[in-house]
């Protein structure tokens, strides 16, 4: 586009002028999209047996390699693999700490912890799933496809490489769990995927879209010596995240058919009986974000206690424990905060967790609950500060340190350790940003509130470019986060999927835009009432909250109310579509990244029906709610340019949603306003370098052409 060099030319001349006037003083280089793509994201940290090293995965644009770092923080991480494509997964240490095992390229491999070439350990049979190391790290268990159909549960010794089929299951086997003594295996069997193919007329008879329906299985236990797998309990479909509570019991949770109840269940292996030890009830729907909060039942190392997260006391997520035998729950944390991701110490005397609080919803700190002699009187202390987000605590083998992830407004996700005894024992292990990136250019978000739908105060994060001339009017962009149950943070997002968008916003700030990110009702971080406020109102007040972020920007004297753009991913794309059709003149342009276009269509997808029904019932029960949640039905109201980006391999929001949106826009004679880019083979969260690079440049050019930041 010819507007691109014209827009940036004055910036180049300004730099030249400053260099001449300052006597050739070094001038900060602006952020580039190439630099943003070079930011890596660490994950899956694993302590070495002696607690002196941490192995982890480092992901750059969907290429993940294995690294190891000394916890002293004096040396840079060492790359144990250097793959140029693909992902390393499932890392674990050998029992003596000399090797690190991992899966890559369809093979289980090992590499010396000191570095060197990797060795093949086991070429994985086709369809192998769930590689899980035994407690003594001498064997692995996995599920492999059987030639006669179904899955075999296989145990393979790492020394000698002998594989044994422990049991066969006619369906899928997943969530394999070793008992603490290594003598038994629990797993979910009988799972299956039922393909449903659709070929709508607007797409063409030769294009077939597959909507897979996943049918969960049942709980089984089998001794590693082999034999018949037994199913303890009622043999109903169990929650996937099963855990051993000692060597004789297993715990898991179930949800009720109406999504209002969550029950924690303990099943006895020998008797086959199960009993419910706790039930949470919500009049609307159980809104705890399990994936984010780590809220599944977590047994103590000795199996006597089960830790869990609940908001039943005061609508705030708190940490509880309850005896495996049942009894009264004991609340360990309190206050207006969301305490998540509990982790037991190896001695079973303490639980680490991370939490925010009402005064700092976008910050998180790592705390430790010491149970003491009487768990009814626990003590809580914090080992990190509130600066940034500190999450995912992981105890060292001797419980003397905790590894965790940290982000803040100057740093994307990195790994740190902290001593559990307190003091100044914080050590940084990684630096995930490229060395050429100038962190002084970054802008810290300001936490604000603004009037949302019905006047309710809505939290949000305002980014104002450094040295902005506030005597002039500037273009602005509203970013709407996805997932519904997610949030923006006081700095880089903790998830890689959204951290890439935060990175790109720092780039947009340099182009002269003001950026604003609302945490509309339904977002996490603000308590259960805020999360469940979308009940029977998806696409209603929550979407209006997001749209009114544009009205808030218009109240700022340095924002040009005629040059405000809006964009979002997934649920945020859905809200973007609502914004540009319900308020067609509020925003100058919009970008929809893989957004839902119609929740009736989304409900019909077997993969997503439960999520939708939990919030708004079925289309037959609540037709008006579904009509309100169908921006495709109102695309005729579109008056401003819309850019649509979507990957063909998207499972979260199927690609066919955007296909239908484009078809309807053309039918309503809005094709001149719509630009559509599909990314072959790309998943919901854009990750590959060529996709991210193209997407960011398109968004950059699109907003430049429609919002004119240099005006």
State which of 196, 231, 266 marks the end of a domain.
Answer: 231
In a domain, 435, yes or no: no
* Average pLDDT for 192-196: 90
Q: What is the 3-state secondary structure (H, E, C) of 334-349?
A: CCCCCEEEEEECCCCC
Shared domain check, 115 and 189 = no
For residue 19, pLDDT over 60 is answered with no
> Which pLDDT value is given to residue 112?
98
Summarize the confidence of residues 138-149 as an average pLDDT. 93
pLDDT above 70 for 206: yes
Please check whether residues 488 and 611 belong to one and the same domain.
yes
- Domain CATH code at residue 653: 3.40.50.1820
Q: How many domains does the chain have?
A: 4
Q: Report, as an integer, the average pLDDT of 609-630.
A: 91
The values of phi and psi at residue 181, to 5°, are -85, 0
Res. 148: pLDDT tops 80: yes
Instruction: Please tell me whether residues 177 and 66 are part of one structural domain.
Output: no
Same domain, 469 and 504: yes
> Taking 90 as the threshold, does the pLDDT of residue 475 lie above it?
yes
> What tens digit of pLDDT does each residue of 246-301 get?
999 999 999 888 899 999 999 999 998 999 999 999 999 999 988 889 889 999 99
Question: Based on the domain organization, do 161 and 109 belong to the same domain?
Answer: no
| 398 part of a folded domain | no
Residue 280 CA to residue 309 CA, distance in Å, equals: 10
Please check whether residue 311 lies inside any domain of the structure.
no
Cα–Cα dist 532/567, whole Å: 24
Residue of 511, 568, 557, 548 whose CA lies nearest to 703: 511
Q: Is residue 326 part of a domain?
A: no
Output the six-digit token pair for 429: 């292990």
Cα separation, 486 vs 572, whole angstroms: 11
| Domain match, 116 and 171 both | no
pLDDT in tens, 344-396: 999 999 999 999 999 999 999 999 999 999 999 999 999 998 789 999 999 99
In a domain, 669, yes or no: yes
**Residue 641, number of CB atoms within 10 A of its CB:** 20
Give tens-digit pLDDT for 50-62. 999 999 999 999 9
Q: Judge if 153 and 69 occupy the same domain.
A: no
Residue 116 and residue 132 share a domain:
no
Please tell me whether residues 181 and 214 are part of one structural domain.
Answer: yes
In terms of domains, do 94 and 18 share one?
no
523: left (phi over 0), alpha (psi -120 to 50) or beta: beta
With a CB cutoff of 8 Å and minimum separation 6, the contacts of 573 are: 480, 482, 567, 592, 593, 594, 595, 596, 653
- Give the per-residue pLDDT at 18: 37
What does the pLDDT read at residue 603? 87
pLDDT at position 444: 96
Within-domain flag for 630: yes
The CB density around residue 373, as the number of other CB atoms within 10 Å, is: 6
Predicted confidence at residue 30, as pLDDT, reads 87
Residue 365 lies in a domain: no
The fraction of the chain above a pLDDT of 90, given in percent, is 81
Q: Give the CA count within 13 Å in the CB-facing half-sphere of 223.
A: 5
CA 532 to chain centre: 19
Predicted confidence (pLDDT) at residue 411 exceeds the cutoff of 90? yes
So what's the pLDDT on residue 27? Answer: 53
Q: Could you tell me the CA-to-CA distances from 195 to 189, 509, 608, 680 in Å, in that order? A: 19, 44, 14, 21
Q: Which of 327, 329, 328 is nearest to 319 (CA)?
A: 329
Q: Look up the pTM and report it.
A: 0.93
pLDDT in tens, 559-572: 999 999 999 999 99
Q: What is the largest CA-CA distance in the chain?
A: 84
Which of 149-163, 221-235, 247-261, 272-286 has the lowest average pLDDT?
221-235
- Same domain for 213 and 157: yes
Q: What is the mean pLDDT of the chain?
A: 92
Average pLDDT of span 309-332: 96
pLDDT at 5 (0 to 100)? 33
Domain boundary among 169, 198, 231: 231
Domain boundary among 124, 156, 175: 124
Q: Are 89 and 100 in contact (CB under 8 A)?
A: no
Residues 572 and 654 reside in one and the same domain: yes
Residue 463 pLDDT: 98
Q: Is the dihedral of CA 67, 70, 71, 77 positive or negative?
A: negative
Mean pLDDT for 69-81 is: 94
Angle of helix 541-554 relative to helix 571-582, nearest 10 degrees, comes to: 70
Look up the domain containing 627 and give its range.
444-707
Tell me which of 389 and 13 has the higher pLDDT. Answer: 389
Condensed to tens digits (0 to 9), the pLDDT of residues 29-40 reads: 789 999 999 999
Residue 282 lies in a domain: no
Please give the pLDDT value at position 610. 80
Percent of the chain past pLDDT 70, that is, above it, reads: 95
Confidence band for 342, pLDDT divided at 50, 70 and 90: very high
Burial class (CB in 10 A: 0-12, 13-18, 19+), 9: exposed
């Amino acid at each position: 586009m010819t507007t691109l060099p014209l827009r940036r030319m004055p910036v180049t001349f300004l730099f030249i002028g400053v260099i001449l006037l300052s006597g050739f003083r070094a001038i900060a280089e602006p952020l580039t999209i190439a630099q943003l793509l070079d930011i890596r994201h660490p994950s899956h940290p694993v302590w070495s047996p002696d607690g002196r090293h941490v192995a982890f995965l480092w992901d750059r644009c969907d290429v993940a390699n294995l690294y190891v770092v000394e916890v002293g923080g004096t040396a840079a991480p060492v790359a144990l693999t250097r793959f140029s494509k693909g992902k390393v997964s499932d890392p674990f240490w050998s029992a003596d700490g000399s090797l690190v095992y991992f899966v890559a390229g369809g093979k289980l491999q090992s590499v010396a912890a000191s570095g060197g070439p990797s060795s093949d350990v086991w070429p994985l049979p086709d369809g192998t799933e769930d590689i899980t190391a035994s407690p003594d790290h001498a064997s692995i268990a996995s599920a492999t496809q059987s030639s006669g159909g179904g899955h075999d549960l296989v145990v393979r010794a790492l020394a000698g490489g002998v594989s044994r089929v422990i049991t066969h299951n006619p369906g899928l086997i997943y969530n394999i769990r070793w008992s603490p003594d290594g003598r038994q295996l629990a797993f979910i069997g009988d799972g299956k995927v039922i393909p449903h193919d659709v070929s709508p007329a607007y797409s063409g008879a030769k294009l077939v879209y597959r909507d897979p329906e996943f049918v969960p299985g049942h709980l089984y236990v089998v001794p590693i010596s082999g034999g018949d797998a037994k199913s303890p309990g009622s043999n109903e479909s169990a929650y996937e995240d099963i855990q051993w509570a000692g060597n004789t019991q297993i715990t898991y949770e179930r949800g009720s058919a109406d999504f209002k109840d969550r029950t924690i269940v303990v099943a006895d292996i020998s008797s086959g009986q199960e009993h419910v030890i706790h039930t949470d009830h919500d009049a609307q729907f159980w809104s705890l974000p399990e994936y984010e909060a780590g809220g599944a039942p977590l047994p103590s190392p000795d199996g006597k206690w089960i830790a869990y997260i609940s908001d039943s006391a005061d609508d705030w997520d708190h940490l509880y424990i309850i005896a495996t035998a049942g009894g009264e729950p004991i609340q360990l944390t309190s206050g207006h905060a969301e305490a998540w991701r509990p982790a037991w110490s190896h001695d079973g005397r303490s639980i680490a967790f991370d939490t925010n609080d009402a005064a700092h919803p976008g910050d998180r700190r790592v705390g430790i609950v010491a149970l003491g002699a009487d768990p009814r009187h626990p003590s809580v202390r914090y080992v990190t500060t509130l600066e940034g987000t500190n999450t995912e605590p992981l105890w060292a083998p001797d419980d003397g340190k905790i590894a965790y992830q940290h982000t803040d407004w100057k740093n994307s996700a990195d790994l740190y350790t902290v001593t559990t005894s307190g003091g100044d024992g914080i050590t940084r292990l990684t630096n995930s940003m490229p060395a050429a990136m100038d962190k002084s250019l970054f802008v810290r978000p300001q936490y604000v509130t603004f009037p949302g739908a019905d006047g309710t105060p809505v939290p949000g994060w305002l980014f104002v470019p450094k040295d902005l001339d506030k005597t002039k009017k500037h273009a602005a962009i509203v970013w709407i986060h996805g997932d519904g149950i997610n949030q923006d943070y006081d700095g880089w997002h903790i998830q890689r999927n959204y951290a890439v968008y935060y990175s790109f916003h720092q780039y947009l700030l340099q182009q002269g835009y003001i950026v604003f990110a609302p945490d509309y009702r339904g977002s996490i971080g603000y308590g259960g009432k805020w999360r469940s406020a979308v009940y029977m109102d998806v696409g209603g007040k929550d979407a209006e909250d997001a749209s009114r972020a544009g009205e808030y920007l218009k109240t700022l004297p340095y924002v040009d109310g005629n040059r405000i753009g809006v964009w979002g991913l997934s649920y945020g794309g859905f809200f973007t579509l609502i914004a540009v059709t319900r308020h067609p003149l509020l925003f100058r342009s919009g970008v929809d990244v893989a957004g839902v276009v119609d929740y009736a269509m989304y409900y019909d997808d077997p993969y997503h029906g439960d999520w939708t029904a939990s919030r708004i019932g079925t289309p037959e029960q609540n037709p008006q709610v579904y009509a309100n949640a169908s921006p495709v039905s109102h695309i005729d109201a579109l008056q401003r340019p819309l850019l649509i980006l979507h990957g063909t391999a998207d499972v979260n929001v199927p690609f066919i949603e955007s296909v239908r949106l484009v078809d309807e826009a053309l039918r309503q004679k809005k094709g001149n306003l719509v630009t559509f880019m599909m990314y072959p083979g790309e998943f919901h969260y854009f990750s590959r370098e060529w996709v991210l690079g193209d997407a960011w440049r398109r968004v950059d050019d699109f907003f430049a052409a429609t919002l004119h930041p240099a005006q």
